[in-house]
Amino acid sequence: MTFVSMNPLIECVPNFSEGRDSSKIQLISESIESVSGVKILHIDSGADANRTVITFAGAPEAVCSAAFEAIKTASEIIDMRIHQGKHPRIGSADVCPLIPVRDVSMEETVKYARSLAERVGRELEIPVYCYENAAFVPERRNLAFCRKGEYESLKQKLSEQKPDFGTTFTPKVAKTGATVIGARNFLIAVNFNLNTKSKETASLIASGIREKGKNAAGAKLKGIKAIGWYIADFDIAQVSVNITDINATPLYTVFEEVKKRAGELGANLTGTEIIGLVPEKILLDSGNFFLSQTGSHENVSDELLLKTAIEKLGLNDLYPFVPDEKILERKITYYLCLG
């Protein structure tokens, strides 16, 4: 594959169905790092979800090679027949999105994603569904549609919905599961912490805020996917949210809506846990919103906006939020300085 671009840079954020065995997570990470031209930016694992999100970036072809190696390693060391976790999943390498960062268009990124999907299906004999901008059919743009029924329904799913690449259900697929590969814009993965252990409360809030959910007012938050769960690691319930349209629905809007709905159910929103990396603008916009509530948001520094966002969103609620480790632009500075 050769696409004309000056210094193209893409990000890859694969999610693996392993969040408890550090040796397996290390093997997957090492397989990514074995490819020259990529850099791991962040690793986020959760024992209850039994899931690890690895963020890495680099030149497109190198990123695709690293993603392939990671999917291959995951398929070898993760057995979906015995996997248990709170997060929805369909395979050992559950989902693998490519995100254009610099000097590469979405159209080019789609080509890379589909090429990666074809290679995974052909060489690893893993069923692959293409999603978001790389989807071949409209329904599969939605990750939830591709993953519906999860691993437990995969045999039936593959018989009814032929994958875009790869094989149908085989003894090997029984172990590896399927994977979903695509190209998308940035999204924010975030968990909102509640001062309750009630999964039911978290689920009610989730159903009220997600775009396809229903609530008494009939309102929906655009681009919001949400579920509620109890996390034993922290002994709290959380509303776990993906903000897939960060322009239509800012982080602070979701925070305020979860806070309001939690209060209506007799609970409090205590803080926010961001999974993976977050673009700096998301936090600056949040800081500006919260300061605007006090009438003191004009002519303030980015430092104050960031500090305000961290405080008001409660980003230090479960563990320290370190901007240099969590803000996307600060992690990819090395690449942005190339060329």
Low-confidence ranges of the chain (pLDDT < 50): 1-5, 215-217, 338-339
**CA 216 to the chain's CA centroid:** 29
Cα separation, 23 vs 131, in Å, equals 30
CB 29 within 8 A of CB 115: no
**Exactly one of 42, 83, 87, 297 is catalytic; which is it?**
87
Q: Where are the domains of the chain?
A: 9-183, 188-334
Alpha helices in 11-147 (DSSP H): 22-33, 60-77, 106-123, 143-147
C-alpha–C-alpha distance, residues 72 and 96, integer Å: 12
297 included as an active-site residue? no
pLDDT at res. 212: 73
CA 261, 264, 265, 268 torsion-angle sign: positive
Contacts of residue 192, defined as CB under 8 A and 6 or more positions apart, other chains included, come to 238, 239, 240, 241, 254, 255, 258, 269, 271, 272, 273
Cα-Cα end-to-end distance for the chain:
21
C-alpha 213: how far from chain center: 20
Phi first, then psi, for residue 277 (nearest 5°) are -105, 160
Could you tell me whether strands 179-183 and 128-132 are parallel, antiparallel, or unpaired per DSSP bridges? Answer: parallel
Cα 130 vs. chain centroid, distance in angstroms?
Answer: 16
Q: What is the DSSP string of 105-132?
A: -HHHHHHHHHHHHHHHHHHS---EEEEE
Architecture of domain 9-183: 2-Layer Sandwich (3.30)
Provide Rg for the chain, Cα atoms: 20
Round to whole Å and give the CA distance between 259 and 252.
10
Task: Give the other-Cβ count within 10 Å of 192's Cβ.
Answer: 29
Would you put residue 184 in left (φ > 0), alpha (ψ -120 to 50) or beta? beta
pLDDT of res. 142 = 92
Handedness of CA 90, 184, 247, 188 (dihedral sign): positive
Class at the top of the CATH hierarchy for domain 188-334: alpha beta
Helix (H, G, I), strand (E, B) or coil at 339: coil
Residue (of 80, 72, 96) closest to 174 by Cα position:
80
Q: Is residue 96 a contact partner of residue 178, using CB atoms and an 8 Å limit?
A: no
Distance CA 158, CA 89 (A): 15
If phi over 0 gives left and psi between -120 and 50 gives alpha, with beta otherwise, what is residue 330? alpha
